[in-house]
Amino acid sequence: MEIITGYTGENHVTSMDDASLYRGIFGQGDYVLDVGNKFAATIIDNNTVRIMDGDLVIQGHQARIRANDYEEVTIDNGTPGEKRNDLIVARYQKNTTTGIESITLEVVKGTPGATAVDPDIVQEDLSTGGTQRDFVLYRVSLNGLVLENITSLFTVLPNLKDFNSHLAESAQLGIYGISAAQSIPHSYTEYTRIILNKVDRAADFCELTEDGGIKILKSGLYLVTFICAFAHNPNGRRQIGISGAQPIMVQPVSQTDAQTRLSLTYPIYRNNGDIVYDTALQTSGGALDLYSTGTQVLIAKLG
């Protein structure tokens, strides 16, 4: 263990330390940040593409074109009668002799042919000692001598302000419940599926199914919160689960003489058409009712 953000009496913070911190914040991948013109591209002529200002991160390593500035990259001439795809990349490189690191805009040229195919790129893992990684920004499509179009291939990572606003808005959507009490029988192994049949707030990314599940209509990352209001039993042991997984024991979030409430929040990635189910298990005492008042499922789409 070594301290990074702290005075030690000597220079000790490296670029790898900074990159590790940024990977923890932004993720392990390669992203364009929501800054400036976000590397907007313009075709100047058949041999020139202009890239506007922006910031990016390649596995934690930041680079930028400063505000109100731009860089231009050169595209080699096309071949009459043939098609070609080139890729504009931000290339991280580390000189293994000097240790000097750089990130520059480069063009990876494709091979002309009857059908255009993207060229191969290098994507080494920089967190484990890799020395080159290409972050693809644009595909450049040439048809004969003509540069026909450029296609964006990068992901813009939202800033925290926009992310929190989106989360707050999404969290108000997709709220579902049960219209009547549902009995949860005593069992040590067989969990009961909760039949959702009441829409408290509809969402365009999911809908209720006939058997009481939630059908995902848009692929993506979701945050699901399952709140259960059980009839109170001081000796009862209850488990709840999300998406058909084995239920897990959670501590009550509130408890009165009449009702015990449990809550479980879980992030899941689901594809269009997948079904999310919520389940409960009562492992001691007799059967217990799951009350309609206070029992809800909240589902928010994160991305």
pLDDT digit string, tens, across residues 111-167: 999 999 999 999 898 888 899 999 999 999 999 999 999 999 887 877 766 665 555
- pLDDT at position 246 is 45
How would residue 102 be classed by pLDDT, with cut points 50, 70 and 90? very high
- pLDDT at position 67 is 94
Half-sphere exposure of 156 (CA within 13 A, CB side): 13
The length of the chain is 303
CB distance 60 to 22 below 8 Å: yes
Residues 6+ apart with CB under 8 A from 288: 183, 184, 230, 231, 233, 236, 238, 282
Q: Name which residue leads in pLDDT, 241 or 200.
A: 200
Which whole number is the average pLDDT over 231-251? Answer: 60
**In whole angstroms, what is the distance from residue 294 CA to residue 287 CA?**
19
Q: What is the mean pLDDT of the chain?
A: 82
- pLDDT at position 160 is 66
| pLDDT > 70 in the chain, percent | 84
Q: Name which residue leads in pLDDT, 175 or 235.
A: 175
What one-letter code names the amino acid at 126?
L
Q: Which of 32-46, 88-102, 151-165 has the lowest mean pLDDT?
A: 151-165
**In whole angstroms, what is the distance from residue 92 CA to residue 84 CA?**
24
**Entry pTM:** 0.57
Q: Which of 140-144, 175-179, 286-290 has the lowest mean pLDDT?
A: 286-290
Domains of the chain: 15-157 (2.60.520.10), 160-301 (2.60.120.40)
Which whole number is the average pLDDT over 49-63? Answer: 94
Which whole number is the average pLDDT over 95-118? Answer: 94
- pLDDT at position 9 is 83
Q: Check pLDDT > 60 for residue 169.
A: no
**In whole angstroms, what is the distance from residue 186 CA to residue 183 CA?**
10
